């Protein structure tokens, strides 16, 4: 049937033009953004996965920053414990020296001045060894049983690592307050025993600090590696195949031009019907 009311050819040509224009715009959008998924409609499941993967990667990056801060804190802590160790070693040297019978009480009284001054310095050291205003060696208990600082070590709420405050106060309390002295041979020998224990505790505190730092460095290495792999996985989901999209863009453009030409041809074809009624 020949009709002038419904132009089937024009309708079909217009439908094809709309479809080709939509595919052209989709390919152009992917090429301009570099992403295969620019909105949820492009791939609902892929968009959901990509959002979760993106949050995971952001969490890993932030965890690496917080772990880096934790490593810096432990470096400050170890620096303070190292100085505390030097003080304890010097105190022990003085105690060993004054335990010898070759020195007089006057000699011991002179050495006692340095002994007390170094003992008092421990309090200042504990107060001044800080990171971001947080004291790092003010633990009042034996090494291994002091307050712990929690660090975020991953993208999840439960992914945490705890590091211990150094036992600076605990070690200082063994030495300060007149607990030990070197003003007599007997006191000097007793001081050696106390200082041996203090030195052992200092070494234990430094070992705990060093072990924690190595653990955090291992965490950073793991987060870095897993973050790279997660980024690669995210890229496979959201990144556009540029060669494929370029090919699709060219195809859509050619078909769109063709459908536009066919639409124009279909619209003009109805003019031939005028000849049926004798109109030139």
Give CA–CA dist 75/45, Å, rounded.
45
**Which pLDDT value is given to residue 80?**
95
Q: What pLDDT digit, counting tens, does each position of 181-238 carry?
A: 999 999 999 999 999 999 999 999 999 999 999 999 999 998 889 888 888 888 888 8
Closest by Cα among 152, 149, 199, 192 to 171 = 199
Tokens of 134: 């947080």
Taking CA 53 as the corner, what is the angle to CA 57 and CA 212, rounded to the nearest 5 degrees? 35
Q: Residues 115-120: what's their mean pLDDT?
A: 90
Mean residue pLDDT of the chain comes to 86
Give the CA distances from residue 55 to residues 6, 62, 113, 118, 222, in Å, rounded to whole numbers and listed in that order: 54, 11, 60, 51, 17
Quick check: 279 pLDDT over 60? Answer: no
**Which pLDDT value is given to residue 145?**
92
**Which pLDDT value is given to residue 1?**
58
Q: What pLDDT digit, counting tens, does each position of 157-168 carry?
A: 888 889 999 999
**Which pLDDT value is given to residue 248?**
85
Orientation of helix 242-269 relative to helix 8-33, angle to 10°: 160
DSSP letter, residue 277:
G
- The residue with greater pLDDT, 146 or 257, is 146
Q: Residues 127-147: what's their mean pLDDT?
A: 92
Pairing of strands 134-135, 130-131: antiparallel
Kindly indicate the confidence band of residue 31, based on its pLDDT and cuts at 50, 70 and 90: confident
Q: What pLDDT digit, counting tens, does each position of 37-89 carry?
A: 877 777 788 888 888 888 888 888 888 898 999 999 999 999 999 999 999 99
Q: For tokens 């304890």, what's the residue?
A: 88
**Which pLDDT value is given to residue 101?**
87
Query: For the ranges 130-139, 183-192, 251-260, which has the lowest average pLDDT?
Result: 251-260
Kindly indicate the confidence band of residue 17, based on its pLDDT and cuts at 50, 70 and 90: confident
**Which pLDDT value is given to residue 28?**
84
DSSP letter, residue 270:
G
CATH class of the domain comprising 64-238: mainly alpha
Query: For the ranges 92-101, 129-138, 210-219, 229-238, which has the lowest average pLDDT?
Result: 229-238
Give CA–CA dist 95/188, Å, rounded.
5
- The residue with greater pLDDT, 66 or 262, is 66
Kindly indicate the confidence band of residue 280, based on its pLDDT and cuts at 50, 70 and 90: low
Kindly indicate the confidence band of residue 260, based on its pLDDT and cuts at 50, 70 and 90: confident
**Which pLDDT value is given to residue 96?**
94
Tokens of 41: 């409609």
Tell me the range of 14-18, 71-75, 174-178, 244-248 where mean pLDDT is highest. Answer: 71-75
């Amino acid at each position: 049937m020949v009709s002038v009311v419904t132009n089937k050819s024009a309708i079909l040509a217009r439908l094809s033009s709309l479809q080709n224009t939509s595919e052209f715009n989709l390919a152009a959008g992917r090429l301009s953004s570099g992403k295969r998924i620019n909105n949820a409609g492009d791939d609902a499941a892929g968009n959901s996965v990509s959002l979760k993967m993106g949050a995971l990667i952001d969490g890993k990056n932030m965890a690496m920053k917080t772990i880096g801060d934790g490593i810096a804190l432990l470096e400050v802590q170890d620096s303070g414990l190292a100085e505390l160790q030097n003080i304890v070693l010097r105190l022990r040297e003085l105690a060993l020296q004054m335990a010898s019978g070759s020195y007089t009480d006057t000699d011991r009284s002179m050495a006692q001045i340095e002994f007390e001054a170094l003992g008092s310095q421990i309090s200042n050291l504990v107060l001044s060894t800080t990171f971001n205003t947080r004291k790092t060696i003010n633990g009042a208990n034996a090494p291994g049983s002091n307050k712990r600082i929690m660090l975020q070590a991953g993208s999840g709420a439960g992914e945490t690592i705890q590091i211990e405050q150094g036992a600076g106060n605990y070690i200082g309390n063994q030495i300060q307050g007149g607990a030990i002295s070197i003003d007599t041979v007997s006191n000097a020998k007793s001081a050696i025993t106390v200082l041996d224990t203090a030195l052992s505790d200092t070494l234990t505190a430094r070992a705990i600090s060093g072990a924690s730092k190595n653990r955090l460095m291992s965490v950073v290495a793991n987060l870095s590696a897993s973050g790279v792999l997660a980024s690669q996985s995210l890229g496979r989901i959201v990144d556009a195949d540029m060669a494929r999209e370029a090919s699709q863009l060219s195809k859509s453009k050619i078909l769109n031009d063709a459908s536009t030409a066919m639409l124009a041809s279909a619209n003009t074809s109805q003019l031939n019907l005028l000849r049926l009624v004798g109109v030139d």
